[in-house]
Structure 1
Protein backbone atom coordinates (compact mmCIF):
# COMPACT_ATOMS: atom_id res chain seq x y z
CA UNK A 1 0.00 0.00 0.00
CA UNK A 2 1.32 3.41 -0.97
CA UNK A 3 1.67 5.65 2.04
CA UNK A 4 0.30 9.20 1.84
CA UNK A 5 2.63 12.17 1.92
CA UNK A 6 2.54 14.66 4.72
CA UNK A 7 0.07 17.47 4.24
CA UNK A 8 1.77 20.68 3.12
CA UNK A 9 0.42 23.74 4.84
CA UNK A 10 -0.16 26.64 2.48
CA UNK A 11 2.70 29.06 3.03
CA UNK A 12 4.62 31.87 1.36
CA UNK A 13 8.37 31.55 0.78
CA UNK A 14 10.31 34.81 0.52
CA UNK A 15 13.47 34.78 -1.61
CA UNK A 16 16.72 36.21 -0.31
CA UNK A 17 19.03 38.33 -2.43
CA UNK A 18 21.12 35.20 -2.94
CA UNK A 19 18.05 33.31 -4.17
CA UNK A 20 17.28 35.99 -6.77
CA UNK A 21 20.91 36.07 -7.95
CA UNK A 22 20.93 32.29 -8.30
CA UNK A 23 17.72 32.37 -10.32
CA UNK A 24 19.12 35.08 -12.60
CA UNK A 25 22.29 33.03 -13.14
CA UNK A 26 20.42 29.83 -13.97
CA UNK A 27 18.07 31.67 -16.29
CA UNK A 28 20.97 33.32 -18.09
CA UNK A 29 22.40 29.87 -18.82
CA UNK A 30 18.99 28.71 -20.06
CA UNK A 31 18.67 31.78 -22.31
CA UNK A 32 21.98 30.95 -24.01
CA UNK A 33 20.45 27.66 -25.16
CA UNK A 34 17.04 29.10 -26.04
CA UNK A 35 18.59 31.87 -28.13
CA UNK A 36 20.83 29.39 -29.95
CA UNK A 37 17.75 27.35 -30.85
CA UNK A 38 15.76 30.41 -31.88
CA UNK A 39 18.40 31.33 -34.48
CA UNK A 40 17.47 28.09 -36.23
CA UNK A 41 13.71 28.68 -35.81
CA UNK A 42 13.47 26.07 -33.08
CA UNK A 43 11.03 26.81 -30.26
CA UNK A 44 12.27 25.72 -26.86
CA UNK A 45 10.98 25.97 -23.31
CA UNK A 46 12.74 25.89 -19.97
CA UNK A 47 11.13 23.37 -17.64
CA UNK A 48 10.93 22.90 -13.89
CA UNK A 49 12.34 25.05 -11.12
CA UNK A 50 14.08 27.49 -13.48
CA UNK A 51 10.68 28.23 -15.02
CA UNK A 52 8.93 28.40 -11.63
CA UNK A 53 11.68 30.30 -9.82
CA UNK A 54 12.33 27.98 -6.86
CA UNK A 55 15.88 27.01 -7.81
CA UNK A 56 18.55 25.74 -5.45
CA UNK A 57 22.27 25.01 -5.85
CA UNK A 58 21.64 21.57 -7.35
CA UNK A 59 18.83 22.52 -9.76
CA UNK A 60 19.16 21.29 -13.33
CA UNK A 61 18.56 23.53 -16.31
CA UNK A 62 16.15 21.56 -18.48
CA UNK A 63 15.35 22.82 -21.98
CA UNK A 64 12.62 21.00 -23.87
CA UNK A 65 11.61 21.00 -27.52
CA UNK A 66 7.86 20.37 -27.29
CA UNK A 67 7.53 19.02 -30.85
CA UNK A 68 9.26 16.11 -32.54
CA UNK A 69 11.74 17.66 -35.00
CA UNK A 70 14.88 16.35 -36.76
CA UNK A 71 17.53 16.10 -34.08
CA UNK A 72 20.33 17.28 -36.39
CA UNK A 73 18.76 20.76 -36.44
CA UNK A 74 19.05 21.01 -32.66
CA UNK A 75 22.60 19.66 -32.63
CA UNK A 76 23.60 22.06 -35.42
CA UNK A 77 22.07 25.00 -33.56
CA UNK A 78 24.08 24.13 -30.46
CA UNK A 79 27.36 23.52 -32.27
CA UNK A 80 27.06 26.66 -34.41
CA UNK A 81 26.71 28.66 -31.20
CA UNK A 82 29.82 27.30 -29.56
CA UNK A 83 28.47 24.33 -27.60
CA UNK A 84 30.81 21.36 -27.96
CA UNK A 85 31.42 17.94 -26.38
CA UNK A 86 27.76 17.10 -26.35
CA UNK A 87 26.78 13.90 -24.52
CA UNK A 88 23.87 12.31 -26.43
CA UNK A 89 21.57 9.64 -25.02
CA UNK A 90 18.20 8.08 -25.79
CA UNK A 91 16.15 7.66 -22.62
CA UNK A 92 12.83 5.91 -22.09
CA UNK A 93 11.37 5.65 -18.60
CA UNK A 94 9.12 2.65 -19.39
CA UNK A 95 8.27 0.68 -22.57
CA UNK A 96 5.05 2.63 -22.98
CA UNK A 97 6.26 6.16 -22.28
CA UNK A 98 7.62 8.79 -24.65
CA UNK A 99 11.14 8.10 -25.96
CA UNK A 100 13.37 11.15 -25.61
CA UNK A 101 16.66 12.36 -27.05
CA UNK A 102 18.75 13.94 -24.30
CA UNK A 103 21.62 16.25 -25.22
CA UNK A 104 23.73 17.14 -22.20
CA UNK A 105 25.52 20.50 -22.39
CA UNK A 106 28.15 21.89 -20.05
CA UNK A 107 26.83 23.94 -17.15
CA UNK A 108 24.33 21.35 -15.87
CA UNK A 109 22.12 21.92 -18.91
CA UNK A 110 20.11 19.37 -20.88
CA UNK A 111 18.09 19.66 -24.08
CA UNK A 112 15.28 17.15 -24.60
CA UNK A 113 13.69 16.27 -27.94
CA UNK A 114 10.76 13.84 -28.24
CA UNK A 115 11.55 11.03 -30.69
CA UNK A 116 7.86 10.36 -31.37
CA UNK A 117 4.87 12.67 -31.48
CA UNK A 118 3.87 13.31 -27.84
CA UNK A 119 0.42 12.32 -26.66
CA UNK A 120 -1.75 14.79 -24.75
CA UNK A 121 -0.69 13.40 -21.38
CA UNK A 122 2.96 13.69 -22.36
CA UNK A 123 2.50 17.29 -23.52
CA UNK A 124 0.83 18.16 -20.22
CA UNK A 125 3.76 16.66 -18.27
CA UNK A 126 5.90 19.73 -18.89
CA UNK A 127 3.14 22.21 -18.12
CA UNK A 128 2.50 20.30 -14.90
CA UNK A 129 6.07 20.93 -13.76
CA UNK A 130 6.15 24.47 -15.13
CA UNK A 131 7.38 25.53 -18.58
CA UNK A 132 8.41 29.03 -19.70
CA UNK A 133 9.34 30.43 -23.11
CA UNK A 134 12.32 32.60 -23.98
CA UNK A 135 10.02 35.62 -24.11
CA UNK A 136 8.68 34.88 -20.63
CA UNK A 137 12.21 34.48 -19.26
CA UNK A 138 13.32 37.75 -20.86
CA UNK A 139 10.28 39.45 -19.32
CA UNK A 140 11.28 38.03 -15.91
CA UNK A 141 8.06 36.05 -15.69
CA UNK A 142 7.75 32.95 -13.53
CA UNK A 143 5.13 30.28 -14.03
CA UNK A 144 3.24 27.95 -11.69
CA UNK A 145 4.09 24.27 -11.56
CA UNK A 146 4.33 21.26 -9.27
CA UNK A 147 7.63 20.06 -7.82
CA UNK A 148 8.67 16.49 -6.96
CA UNK A 149 7.22 16.85 -3.47
CA UNK A 150 3.78 17.19 -5.08
CA UNK A 151 3.69 20.80 -3.93
CA UNK A 152 2.17 23.48 -6.15
CA UNK A 153 4.57 26.41 -6.59
CA UNK A 154 2.83 29.69 -7.50
CA UNK A 155 5.02 32.76 -8.05
CA UNK A 156 4.30 35.85 -5.94
CA UNK A 157 6.09 39.18 -5.77
CA UNK A 158 8.65 38.31 -3.09
CA UNK A 159 9.05 34.60 -3.87
CA UNK A 160 6.46 31.87 -4.21
CA UNK A 161 3.46 30.30 -2.51
CA UNK A 162 3.42 26.56 -1.70
CA UNK A 163 0.25 24.51 -1.34
CA UNK A 164 -0.95 20.94 -1.30
CA UNK A 165 -1.79 19.13 -4.57
CA UNK A 166 -3.36 15.95 -3.19
CA UNK A 167 -7.04 16.52 -2.58
CA UNK A 168 -7.08 19.56 -4.90
CA UNK A 169 -6.51 17.76 -8.20
CA UNK A 170 -9.20 19.56 -10.22
CA UNK A 171 -8.22 22.96 -8.87
CA UNK A 172 -4.54 22.36 -9.63
CA UNK A 173 -5.35 21.15 -13.15
CA UNK A 174 -7.27 24.37 -13.77
CA UNK A 175 -4.46 26.56 -12.41
CA UNK A 176 -1.91 24.82 -14.64
CA UNK A 177 -4.25 24.51 -17.65
CA UNK A 178 -3.70 20.77 -17.95
CA UNK A 179 -5.94 17.73 -18.00
CA UNK A 180 -6.87 16.11 -14.71
CA UNK A 181 -5.25 12.92 -16.03
CA UNK A 182 -1.69 14.25 -15.73
CA UNK A 183 -2.31 15.44 -12.17
CA UNK A 184 -3.62 12.03 -11.17
CA UNK A 185 -0.84 10.24 -13.06
CA UNK A 186 1.95 12.23 -11.41
CA UNK A 187 0.44 11.74 -7.97
CA UNK A 188 0.34 8.00 -8.57
CA UNK A 189 3.92 7.85 -9.90
CA UNK A 190 5.48 10.01 -7.19
CA UNK A 191 3.63 8.31 -4.35
CA UNK A 192 4.69 4.94 -5.74
CA UNK A 193 8.27 6.20 -5.84
CA UNK A 194 7.95 7.07 -2.14
CA UNK A 195 6.92 3.49 -1.47
CA UNK A 196 9.42 1.49 -3.54
CA UNK A 197 12.13 4.06 -4.27
CA UNK A 198 13.58 5.11 -7.58
CA UNK A 199 13.75 2.07 -9.87
CA UNK A 200 15.79 3.46 -12.76
CA UNK A 201 14.73 3.70 -16.38
CA UNK A 202 13.68 1.09 -18.92
CA UNK A 203 16.16 2.28 -21.52
CA UNK A 204 19.21 4.56 -21.57
CA UNK A 205 21.51 4.31 -24.56
CA UNK A 206 24.52 6.49 -25.26
CA UNK A 207 25.07 7.34 -28.92
CA UNK A 208 28.36 7.02 -30.75
CA UNK A 209 29.66 10.12 -32.58
CA UNK A 210 28.62 8.60 -35.93
CA UNK A 211 25.01 7.87 -34.95
CA UNK A 212 21.99 10.09 -35.28
CA UNK A 213 19.19 9.88 -32.75
CA UNK A 214 16.79 8.74 -35.45
CA UNK A 215 18.98 5.90 -36.73
CA UNK A 216 19.69 4.71 -33.19
CA UNK A 217 15.99 4.84 -32.31
CA UNK A 218 15.04 2.89 -35.45
CA UNK A 219 17.53 0.20 -34.46
CA UNK A 220 16.16 0.06 -30.92
CA UNK A 221 12.54 -0.33 -32.06
CA UNK A 222 13.56 -2.95 -34.61
CA UNK A 223 15.10 -5.10 -31.91
CA UNK A 224 12.55 -4.53 -29.13
CA UNK A 225 8.97 -5.75 -29.70
CA UNK A 226 7.72 -4.07 -26.51
CA UNK A 227 8.59 -0.65 -27.88
CA UNK A 228 7.45 -1.50 -31.42
CA UNK A 229 4.01 -2.45 -30.08
CA UNK A 230 3.74 0.87 -28.22
CA UNK A 231 4.68 3.08 -31.16
CA UNK A 232 3.18 1.34 -34.20
Structure 2
Protein backbone atom coordinates (compact mmCIF):
# COMPACT_ATOMS: atom_id res chain seq x y z
CA UNK A 1 0.00 0.00 0.00
CA UNK A 2 1.33 3.44 -0.95
CA UNK A 3 1.53 5.65 2.14
CA UNK A 4 0.98 9.42 2.37
CA UNK A 5 4.23 11.35 2.66
CA UNK A 6 4.89 14.14 5.15
CA UNK A 7 7.70 16.65 5.61
CA UNK A 8 8.69 16.36 1.97
CA UNK A 9 10.90 19.08 0.54
CA UNK A 10 9.79 20.60 -2.73
CA UNK A 11 11.84 19.16 -5.58
CA UNK A 12 12.00 18.97 -9.34
CA UNK A 13 12.19 15.66 -11.19
CA UNK A 14 13.93 15.83 -14.55
CA UNK A 15 12.81 13.28 -17.14
CA UNK A 16 15.30 11.37 -19.22
CA UNK A 17 14.87 10.20 -22.78
CA UNK A 18 13.30 6.90 -21.68
CA UNK A 19 10.82 8.75 -19.47
CA UNK A 20 9.65 10.93 -22.37
CA UNK A 21 9.42 7.90 -24.68
CA UNK A 22 7.35 5.98 -22.13
CA UNK A 23 5.03 8.96 -21.61
CA UNK A 24 4.61 9.36 -25.36
CA UNK A 25 3.65 5.68 -25.68
CA UNK A 26 1.11 5.81 -22.85
CA UNK A 27 -0.43 9.01 -24.15
CA UNK A 28 -0.71 7.66 -27.69
CA UNK A 29 -2.64 4.64 -26.37
CA UNK A 30 -4.84 6.90 -24.23
CA UNK A 31 -5.52 9.14 -27.23
CA UNK A 32 -6.57 6.14 -29.33
CA UNK A 33 -9.00 5.01 -26.63
CA UNK A 34 -10.47 8.50 -26.20
CA UNK A 35 -10.84 8.77 -29.99
CA UNK A 36 -12.79 5.50 -30.09
CA UNK A 37 -15.26 6.89 -27.57
CA UNK A 38 -15.39 10.27 -29.28
CA UNK A 39 -16.49 8.60 -32.53
CA UNK A 40 -19.63 7.55 -30.64
CA UNK A 41 -20.10 11.07 -29.19
CA UNK A 42 -18.85 9.95 -25.78
CA UNK A 43 -16.54 12.40 -24.02
CA UNK A 44 -13.89 10.85 -21.82
CA UNK A 45 -10.91 11.93 -19.74
CA UNK A 46 -7.67 10.15 -18.99
CA UNK A 47 -7.01 10.16 -15.27
CA UNK A 48 -3.91 9.89 -13.12
CA UNK A 49 -0.25 9.67 -14.09
CA UNK A 50 -0.92 9.65 -17.85
CA UNK A 51 -2.65 13.03 -17.44
CA UNK A 52 0.05 14.38 -15.10
CA UNK A 53 3.02 12.90 -16.95
CA UNK A 54 4.72 10.99 -14.13
CA UNK A 55 4.24 7.54 -15.66
CA UNK A 56 6.37 4.52 -14.91
CA UNK A 57 6.44 1.01 -16.39
CA UNK A 58 3.61 -0.08 -14.07
CA UNK A 59 1.24 2.78 -14.90
CA UNK A 60 -2.31 2.05 -16.02
CA UNK A 61 -4.39 3.89 -18.59
CA UNK A 62 -7.53 4.93 -16.75
CA UNK A 63 -10.23 6.54 -18.87
CA UNK A 64 -13.27 7.94 -17.12
CA UNK A 65 -16.55 9.13 -18.54
CA UNK A 66 -17.61 12.05 -16.29
CA UNK A 67 -21.38 11.70 -16.67
CA UNK A 68 -23.65 8.64 -16.95
CA UNK A 69 -24.12 7.31 -20.49
CA UNK A 70 -25.81 4.10 -21.66
CA UNK A 71 -23.22 1.40 -21.08
CA UNK A 72 -24.13 -0.41 -24.31
CA UNK A 73 -22.84 2.58 -26.31
CA UNK A 74 -19.45 2.38 -24.61
CA UNK A 75 -19.23 -1.39 -25.02
CA UNK A 76 -20.29 -1.17 -28.67
CA UNK A 77 -17.62 1.44 -29.37
CA UNK A 78 -14.97 -0.77 -27.79
CA UNK A 79 -16.09 -3.99 -29.46
CA UNK A 80 -16.24 -2.40 -32.91
CA UNK A 81 -12.62 -1.36 -32.43
CA UNK A 82 -11.24 -4.76 -31.52
CA UNK A 83 -11.85 -4.99 -27.78
CA UNK A 84 -13.60 -8.34 -27.34
CA UNK A 85 -14.50 -10.49 -24.32
CA UNK A 86 -14.52 -7.55 -21.94
CA UNK A 87 -14.25 -8.09 -18.19
CA UNK A 88 -16.89 -5.99 -16.44
CA UNK A 89 -17.56 -5.17 -12.79
CA UNK A 90 -19.75 -2.87 -10.73
CA UNK A 91 -17.76 -1.33 -7.91
CA UNK A 92 -18.99 0.75 -4.98
CA UNK A 93 -16.65 1.90 -2.20
CA UNK A 94 -19.36 2.43 0.43
CA UNK A 95 -23.19 2.16 0.48
CA UNK A 96 -23.55 5.93 -0.04
CA UNK A 97 -20.82 6.62 -2.60
CA UNK A 98 -20.91 6.64 -6.38
CA UNK A 99 -21.53 3.25 -8.03
CA UNK A 100 -19.21 2.76 -10.99
CA UNK A 101 -19.11 0.46 -14.00
CA UNK A 102 -15.58 -0.75 -14.70
CA UNK A 103 -14.67 -2.17 -18.10
CA UNK A 104 -11.26 -3.84 -18.10
CA UNK A 105 -9.39 -3.93 -21.40
CA UNK A 106 -6.13 -5.57 -22.39
CA UNK A 107 -2.75 -3.96 -21.65
CA UNK A 108 -3.77 -2.47 -18.27
CA UNK A 109 -6.49 -0.20 -19.63
CA UNK A 110 -9.79 0.51 -17.94
CA UNK A 111 -12.88 2.56 -18.77
CA UNK A 112 -15.10 3.77 -15.92
CA UNK A 113 -18.73 4.89 -16.25
CA UNK A 114 -20.69 6.39 -13.34
CA UNK A 115 -24.00 4.61 -12.85
CA UNK A 116 -25.54 7.62 -11.10
CA UNK A 117 -25.06 11.36 -11.48
CA UNK A 118 -21.85 12.27 -9.59
CA UNK A 119 -22.01 14.74 -6.74
CA UNK A 120 -19.66 17.74 -6.72
CA UNK A 121 -16.87 16.10 -4.72
CA UNK A 122 -17.12 12.97 -6.86
CA UNK A 123 -16.70 15.09 -9.99
CA UNK A 124 -13.70 16.84 -8.43
CA UNK A 125 -12.08 13.55 -7.41
CA UNK A 126 -10.70 13.05 -10.93
CA UNK A 127 -9.44 16.61 -11.28
CA UNK A 128 -7.75 16.20 -7.89
CA UNK A 129 -5.78 13.25 -9.26
CA UNK A 130 -5.15 14.90 -12.63
CA UNK A 131 -7.42 14.58 -15.66
CA UNK A 132 -6.81 15.41 -19.31
CA UNK A 133 -9.24 15.61 -22.22
CA UNK A 134 -8.69 14.33 -25.74
CA UNK A 135 -7.80 17.82 -26.96
CA UNK A 136 -5.28 18.27 -24.14
CA UNK A 137 -3.67 14.94 -24.95
CA UNK A 138 -3.44 15.87 -28.63
CA UNK A 139 -1.87 19.21 -27.75
CA UNK A 140 0.68 17.55 -25.47
CA UNK A 141 -0.63 19.30 -22.37
CA UNK A 142 -0.08 17.76 -18.96
CA UNK A 143 -2.27 18.62 -15.99
CA UNK A 144 -1.37 18.94 -12.30
CA UNK A 145 -2.75 16.40 -9.88
CA UNK A 146 -2.10 14.55 -6.63
CA UNK A 147 -0.72 11.01 -6.55
CA UNK A 148 -1.39 8.24 -4.02
CA UNK A 149 1.43 9.50 -1.79
CA UNK A 150 -0.50 12.77 -1.36
CA UNK A 151 2.20 14.52 -3.37
CA UNK A 152 1.19 17.27 -5.79
CA UNK A 153 2.66 16.68 -9.25
CA UNK A 154 3.04 19.91 -11.25
CA UNK A 155 4.24 19.51 -14.85
CA UNK A 156 7.22 21.68 -15.84
CA UNK A 157 9.16 21.84 -19.08
CA UNK A 158 11.88 19.36 -18.09
CA UNK A 159 9.68 16.99 -16.06
CA UNK A 160 7.62 17.77 -12.97
CA UNK A 161 7.74 19.46 -9.59
CA UNK A 162 6.71 17.67 -6.39
CA UNK A 163 5.40 19.17 -3.17
CA UNK A 164 3.49 17.71 -0.25
CA UNK A 165 -0.24 18.24 0.15
CA UNK A 166 -0.61 17.73 3.91
CA UNK A 167 -0.50 21.11 5.58
CA UNK A 168 -0.89 22.95 2.28
CA UNK A 169 -4.45 22.01 1.41
CA UNK A 170 -5.64 25.54 0.53
CA UNK A 171 -2.69 26.17 -1.77
CA UNK A 172 -3.17 22.82 -3.51
CA UNK A 173 -6.89 23.46 -4.03
CA UNK A 174 -6.10 26.75 -5.78
CA UNK A 175 -3.47 25.17 -8.02
CA UNK A 176 -5.84 22.37 -9.05
CA UNK A 177 -8.90 24.59 -9.35
CA UNK A 178 -10.95 22.43 -6.99
CA UNK A 179 -12.71 23.03 -3.69
CA UNK A 180 -10.85 22.79 -0.41
CA UNK A 181 -13.43 20.14 0.57
CA UNK A 182 -12.15 17.55 -1.93
CA UNK A 183 -8.54 18.12 -0.86
CA UNK A 184 -9.42 17.73 2.82
CA UNK A 185 -11.57 14.69 2.06
CA UNK A 186 -8.78 12.90 0.18
CA UNK A 187 -6.24 13.75 2.88
CA UNK A 188 -8.61 12.36 5.51
CA UNK A 189 -9.34 9.16 3.57
CA UNK A 190 -5.74 8.37 2.66
CA UNK A 191 -4.26 9.18 6.08
CA UNK A 192 -7.02 7.17 7.78
CA UNK A 193 -6.29 4.27 5.46
CA UNK A 194 -2.64 4.48 6.50
CA UNK A 195 -3.65 4.22 10.16
CA UNK A 196 -6.10 1.32 9.93
CA UNK A 197 -4.92 -0.39 6.76
CA UNK A 198 -6.83 -1.00 3.57
CA UNK A 199 -10.45 -1.60 4.46
CA UNK A 200 -11.63 -2.97 1.13
CA UNK A 201 -14.74 -1.91 -0.74
CA UNK A 202 -18.44 -2.33 -0.03
CA UNK A 203 -19.42 -3.89 -3.35
CA UNK A 204 -17.63 -5.56 -6.26
CA UNK A 205 -19.83 -7.57 -8.62
CA UNK A 206 -18.56 -9.24 -11.76
CA UNK A 207 -21.10 -9.29 -14.58
CA UNK A 208 -21.98 -12.22 -16.80
CA UNK A 209 -21.65 -11.72 -20.59
CA UNK A 210 -25.43 -11.33 -20.95
CA UNK A 211 -25.93 -8.80 -18.15
CA UNK A 212 -26.00 -5.05 -18.76
CA UNK A 213 -24.59 -2.73 -16.13
CA UNK A 214 -27.95 -1.01 -15.72
CA UNK A 215 -29.85 -4.29 -15.26
CA UNK A 216 -27.28 -5.61 -12.80
CA UNK A 217 -27.37 -2.37 -10.82
CA UNK A 218 -31.17 -2.44 -10.54
CA UNK A 219 -30.97 -5.95 -9.12
CA UNK A 220 -28.26 -4.93 -6.66
CA UNK A 221 -30.37 -2.05 -5.35
CA UNK A 222 -33.44 -4.28 -5.11
CA UNK A 223 -31.68 -7.03 -3.19
CA UNK A 224 -29.31 -5.04 -0.98
CA UNK A 225 -30.88 -3.11 1.94
CA UNK A 226 -27.51 -1.61 2.90
CA UNK A 227 -27.56 0.64 -0.15
CA UNK A 228 -28.94 4.07 0.73
CA UNK A 229 -31.28 6.24 -1.35
CA UNK A 230 -28.23 7.17 -3.41
CA UNK A 231 -28.60 3.82 -5.16
CA UNK A 232 -32.29 4.00 -5.95
TM-score range, shorter chain: over 0.9
Match of 1:227 in 2: 227
Give the superposition deviation at 1:229: 2.9
Listed as ranges, the matches of 1:1-232 within 5 Å are 5-232=5-232
* Gapped regions of structure 1 (runs ≥ 5): none
Please give the alpha-carbon distance, in whole angstroms, between the structure 2 residues aligned to 1:80 and 1:230.
33
Please give the alpha-carbon distance, in whole angstroms, between the structure 2 residues aligned to 1:17 and 1:197.
37
Moved more, 222-231 or 130-139: 222-231
Could you say what secondary structure the match of 1:227 adopts? coil
Alpha carbons 2:52, 2:153 under 8 Å: kept: yes
Give the superposition deviation at 1:230: 3.1
Moved more, 79-88 or 112-121: 79-88
Give the superposition deviation at 1:182: 0.6
Give the superposition deviation at 1:4: 7.9
Structure 2 vs 1, CA of residues 140 and 4 (structure 1 numbering), >3 Å: closer, same or farther?
Answer: closer
Compute the TM-score of the two structures, normalised by the length of structure 1: 0.96
Give the superposition deviation at 1:5: 4.1
Please give the alpha-carbon distance, in whole angstroms, between the structure 2 residues aligned to 1:100 and 1:231.
11
Superposition RMSD on alpha carbons, in Å? 1.3
Q: How many correspondences in the alignment?
A: 230
Could you say what secondary structure the match of 2:8 adopts? coil
Alpha carbons 2:4, 2:149 under 8 Å: kept: no
Please give the alpha-carbon distance, in whole angstroms, between the structure 2 residues aligned to 1:156 and 1:34.
24
Alpha carbons 2:48, 2:130 under 8 Å: kept: yes
Please give the alpha-carbon distance, in whole angstroms, between the structure 2 residues aligned to 1:94 and 1:60.
24
Per-residue Cα deviation, 1:116-159 (whole angstroms, up to 9, x for no partner): 00000000000000000011011111000000000000000000
Alpha carbons 1:130, 1:144 under 8 Å: kept: yes
Moved more, 153-162 or 188-197: 188-197
Could you say what secondary structure the match of 2:46 adopts? strand
* Gapped regions of structure 2 (runs ≥ 5): none
Per-residue Cα deviation, 1:29-80 (whole angstroms, up to 9, x for no partner): 1112101000000000000000000001111110000001110010011111
Structure 2 vs 1, CA of residues 4 and 205 (structure 1 numbering), >3 Å: closer, same or farther?
Answer: closer
